[in-house]
Amino acid sequence: MTDTIAFSPTVRGAIRDGVLLVTIDNPPVNASGAEVRAGLLAAARHAAGEAALRAVVIRGAGSAFVGGADIREFGKPAAEPALPLVLAALEDLEKPVVAAVNGVALGGGCEIALACHLRLAVPGARFGLPEVKLGIIPGAGGTQRLPRLVGIPTAVEMIATGRILGAAEAAALGIADRLVEGDLEAEAIRAALDLVGRPPRRTGSLPVPPAAEDAVEAAAAKALARSRGQAAPAEAVRVVRLAGTLPLADGMAEERATFVRLRDSAEAAALRHVFFAERAAAKVSGLEGVSPRKVETIGVVGTGLMGSGIAVAALDAGYRVIGVEQTAEAAARGRERIDGLLARAVKSGRLDEAGRADRLARLDVTAEAGALAAADLVVEAVFDDLAVKTELFVRLDGIVRPDCILATNTSYLDPDTIAAATAHPERVVGLHFFSPANVMRLVEVVRCARTAPDVLATGLAVARRLGKLPIVCGVCEGFIGNRVFSAYRRQAEFLVEDGASPQAVDAALEAWGFAMGPFAVFDMAGLEIAWAKRKRAAATRDPRARYVAIPDRLCEAGRFGQKTGRGWYSYRDGKREVDPETEALIAAARAEKGIVPRSFTADEIVATLLAAMANEGARLLEEGIAVRASDIDLVMINGYGFPAHKGGPMFQADRTGLPVLLARLEAMAAADGPGSEPSRLLRERATRGDGFMDGNG
Ligand code: 3H9
């Protein structure tokens, strides 16, 4: 029989066969907040002091072991006891301490397990030290204990990338000592009793397995290759390496000092913002209690670049896929394109042949649109033309089942117009994927005027099953991402017309954290689509608005970007180079407008462009297109290469105090009339276009 002991509000003990069974019960993920730490310390002291207790087993309540430190505590004064002290008390116990890892053991949770003398795990458990994803390194011995189990190269790889391991890999590496299929708790108690009387195997006292210096170097180089100037991964490498030379206590002291310094950094604050932003984005108003419809078969109309990417994402997620093309030849090409993407995944080792065969068995590409009668959801990925898409949706109305959802992948067209042409606009939703759709994580889920709540909920559920990050947005031209990106593009062009060189703009942003500056991105994407769009819009453009003609001049000269070897830059063997022809063209455009070029510092360039994005974001919020500022940040990070460790344009605007009130100013101008001060400021801004509040205000 058992007596329950409350060690703290979130940690309780029970005695089974002389073993203290400690349960961490802190929903939703048993994070090791202050009460959990206090409870574990009390449990360790209780076990040490009670002669009748022979061993300790630690488990998590519910489906998690421990999801890590409580991230909400970061940024607040640290509460005692600190986790390293708690773990020292557990590891130093003379009685066996067994971790019964019943679910995720991440961050501080993994560190708790590492400090135990034996680790048993269920096959569904996951282990990892993902702290770098929050801009920090482990702070409770992870960098010093893990290398003692797996060696420095593997510890470097795991900690500097934050990779999370399944139970089987953790067992193969010796992180988990054994996997338990049946009753974990009973097995852990048995294992703990078996260890009684034997010297405890303390991870912290184990020697670090020897490793060749070049193996360590190679692991570090690989882990840091994609870290783009972030501090935490490099610090993780440095501190893990110390395990090879320092005694545990000294290594842990350096780890803790580094953890505390990084925890209080701007980078960590930004990444925490991103973590909570992703969780907030999942909460969509109006969907409380609404269940998504069941979707097993997805139709994809159009199997070009976008459609084939969507098809592969759907196949990867286990859906049946029906691709539809206009002719049998086009269908054959579509199938080839999809198989080509799968073959590439096999070649790179991301997929095996059996996986490819399984996916192909779930794929049907046909010229018979009638096949879509079997679909639960149809995504169109055809040419972005209103007449084409509207006609298609009207036709689909007559083919698909009444409960089938119709999703449009339009980038710029009005999905409400497309929906209105159908018999059931309530079943239409926008699913705006980004190319390549099987790789890019962002999907803008467009809530149209008439979209039914369960249709929206289904769009979100499908996007999540595809492994995507869905962000809900309202209807406007370009949705969230392309609206903000257009403002960024416009401002980048203003900077160049005013005197900055494209390479100076790109260099400033790349030094700040973007993988590529805007002009390199324009060249990569190609300049001709935007050119065609500008030509179409020429007749309706506001003649008072500032217009930069340089991109038109580039296109007129046949400079369409990388694909033609020349754009803003010229390209030799894929390497971008400054091109005197572009420079001359820019100089001529400035001279034509009488602009005397001025110089810009890198800081000015970055601040100006960030503010242009944040201002457009403020407008999207004002218009109700975006629901939260943090959603805009996620769109720009996951769809447009904004560096995650900078938190997004809205986060930056908040932190740096840049004014993002342009939208408010416009509202004031509208209310106060054309003679008002807000109107004057806006006119001045429109004619100068150098953004008096875009960075310098
Ligand atoms: C660390 O441990 C540092 C140590 O070395 C320091 C030692 C001194 N804290 O993701 P979900 C909340 S750093 C606080 O939707 P899932 C989350 O906000 C930490 N809250 O569920 C959400 O709340 P709400 C290292 C947390 O099942 C709810 O739980 N650990 C934490 O899809 C459900 O979350 C990590 O980086 C937390 N640690 O996935 C792991 N974790 O419902 C971070 C979650 O109010 N966490 N919440 O929106 C994860 O990766 C996932 O949450 C997890 C569960 C896999 C655990």
Give mean pLDDT, residues 442-470: 97
CA distance 114 to 131: 15
- Would you say residue 622 has pLDDT above 70? yes
Reported confidence tier of residue 696, pLDDT bands at 50, 70, 90 = very low
CATH number for position 84:
3.90.226.10
In DSSP terms, 99 is beta-bridged to 58, 119
Q: Is-contact 24 42, C-beta < 8 A?
A: no
Residue 15: in which H helix or E strand, if any?
A: strand 11-16
Whether residues 672 and 577 share a domain: the answer is: yes
- Would you say residue 460 has pLDDT above 90? yes
Whether 40 is in a domain gets the answer yes
Whether residues 460 and 489 share a domain: the answer is: no
Residue 126: in which H helix or E strand, if any?
A: strand 126-128
Give mean pLDDT, residues 277-303: 95
Q: Which of 50, 80, 111, 510 is catalytic?
A: 111
Percent of the chain at pLDDT > 90 equals: 85
Q: Which of 131, 235, 255, 497 is catalytic?
A: 131
Predicted local distance difference test score (pLDDT) of residue 668: 57
Reported confidence tier of residue 659, pLDDT bands at 50, 70, 90 = very low
Predicted local distance difference test score (pLDDT) of residue 693: 38
Whether residues 526 and 566 share a domain: the answer is: yes
As for how many domains the chain has, the answer is 3
H helical segments located in 364-421: 386-397, 415-420
Predicted local distance difference test score (pLDDT) of residue 2: 53
Predicted local distance difference test score (pLDDT) of residue 3: 79
Reported confidence tier of residue 682, pLDDT bands at 50, 70, 90 = low
Can you say how many angstroms the Cα of residue 242 is from the centroid of all Cα atoms in its chain?
Answer: 31
Predicted local distance difference test score (pLDDT) of residue 472: 97
Q: Is the C-beta atom of 69 inside 6 A of ligand 1? A: yes
H helical segments located in 92-183: 108-115, 142-150, 152-161, 167-173
Predicted local distance difference test score (pLDDT) of residue 335: 97
Whether residues 181 and 101 share a domain: the answer is: yes
Reported confidence tier of residue 227, pLDDT bands at 50, 70, 90 = confident
Whether 308 is in a domain gets the answer yes
Whether 441 is in a domain gets the answer yes
> 299-348, pLDDT tens digit by residue?
999 999 999 999 999 999 999 999 999 999 999 999 999 999 999 999 99
Q: Residue 270: phi, psi to the nearest 5? A: -65, -45
Take residue 232 and report the two structure tokens written for it. 């935490």
- 3-class DSSP state of 411: coil
Q: Is the C-beta atom of 67 inside 6 A of ligand 1? A: yes
Q: Is the C-beta atom of 105 inside 6 A of ligand 1? A: no
Give mean pLDDT, residues 140-147: 98
Distance (Å) from CA 74 to ligand 1 centroid: 13
CB within 8 Å of 677: residues ≥ 6 apart: none
Distance (Å) from CA 69 to ligand 1 centroid: 8
Whether residues 529 and 472 share a domain: the answer is: no
CATH number for position 651:
1.10.1040.50
Domain boundary among 428, 445, 478: 478
Whether residues 527 and 448 share a domain: the answer is: no
- Catalytic, 131? Answer yes
- Would you say residue 676 has pLDDT above 60? yes
Whether residues 422 and 524 share a domain: the answer is: no
Predicted local distance difference test score (pLDDT) of residue 655: 82
> 10-47, pLDDT tens digit by residue?
999 999 999 999 999 999 999 999 999 999 999 999 99
Burial class (CB in 10 A: 0-12, 13-18, 19+), 218: middle
Reported confidence tier of residue 226, pLDDT bands at 50, 70, 90 = confident
Distance (Å) from CA 628 to ligand 1 centroid: 21
Give mean pLDDT, residues 168-190: 97
**Ligand 1 atom 19: residue of nearest CA:** 68
Task: Kindly compute the dihedral angle of the four CA atoms of residues 575, 579, 583, 586, in this order, to the nearest 10 degrees.
Answer: -70
> 69-126, pLDDT tens digit by residue?
999 998 788 899 999 999 999 999 999 999 999 999 999 999 999 999 999 999 999 9
CB within 8 Å of 300: residues ≥ 6 apart: 307, 310, 311, 314, 321, 322, 323, 324, 378, 379, 381
In DSSP terms, 14 is beta-bridged to 4, 21
Predicted local distance difference test score (pLDDT) of residue 477: 86
In ligand 1, the atom with minimum distance to the C-alpha of 84 is: 8
Whether residues 245 and 356 share a domain: the answer is: no
Domain boundary among 455, 478, 501: 478
pTM: 0.90
Full DSSP string of 244-264: TTS-HHHHHHHHHHHHHHHHT
Maximum average pLDDT range among 130-134, 529-533, 650-654: 130-134
- Among 52-66, 144-158, 193-207, 415-429, the range scoring the smallest mean pLDDT is 415-429
Whether residues 518 and 446 share a domain: the answer is: no
Whether residues 465 and 500 share a domain: the answer is: no
Distance (Å) from CA 159 to ligand 1 centroid: 17
Predicted local distance difference test score (pLDDT) of residue 636: 97
Whether 552 is in a domain gets the answer yes
Q: Which residue has the tokens 């098809």?
A: 311
Angle at 440 between CA 458 and CA 518, to 5 degrees: 130
Can you say how many angstroms the Cα of residue 642 is from the centroid of all Cα atoms in its chain?
Answer: 11
- Would you say residue 684 has pLDDT above 70? no
Q: Residue 561: phi, psi to the nearest 5? A: 110, -160
In ligand 1, the atom with minimum distance to the C-alpha of 283 is: 48
CA distance 448 to 415: 7
Q: Is-contact 211 152, C-beta < 8 A?
A: yes
Q: Is-contact 689 546, C-beta < 8 A?
A: yes
Of 124, 99, 123, 125, nearest in space to 180 by CA: 123
Q: Is the C-beta atom of 71 inside 6 A of ligand 1? A: yes
Domain boundary among 215, 240, 264: 264
- Catalytic, 111? Answer yes
**Ligand 1: which of 65, 70, 71, 284 to mutate, judged by most atoms within 8 Å of the beta carbon?**
71
Predicted local distance difference test score (pLDDT) of residue 678: 60
Whether residues 445 and 515 share a domain: the answer is: no
- State the residue range of the domain holding 579: 482-688
Whether 275 is in a domain gets the answer no
Predicted local distance difference test score (pLDDT) of residue 499: 96
What 555-564 contacts at long range (C-beta under 8 Å, 24+ apart), as own/partner pairs, is 555/527, 555/528, 555/531, 557/581, 557/585, 559/527, 560/526, 560/527, 560/528, 561/522, 561/523, 561/524, 561/525, 561/526, 561/527, 561/528, 562/523, 562/524, 562/526, 563/526
- Would you say residue 612 has pLDDT above 60? yes
Of 33, 102, 24, nearest in space to 72 by CA: 33
CATH number for position 439:
3.40.50.720
Take residue 149 and report the two structure tokens written for it. 């189990």
- Would you say residue 691 has pLDDT above 80? no
Distance (Å) from CA 480 to ligand 1 centroid: 27
Take residue 447 and report the two structure tokens written for it. 């809530």
Predicted local distance difference test score (pLDDT) of residue 232: 97
Whether residues 243 and 103 share a domain: the answer is: yes
Q: Is the C-beta atom of 125 inside 6 A of ligand 1? A: no
- Among 46-55, 88-97, 221-230, 263-272, the range scoring the smallest mean pLDDT is 221-230
- Would you say residue 633 has pLDDT above 80? yes
Q: Is-contact 115 98, C-beta < 8 A?
A: no
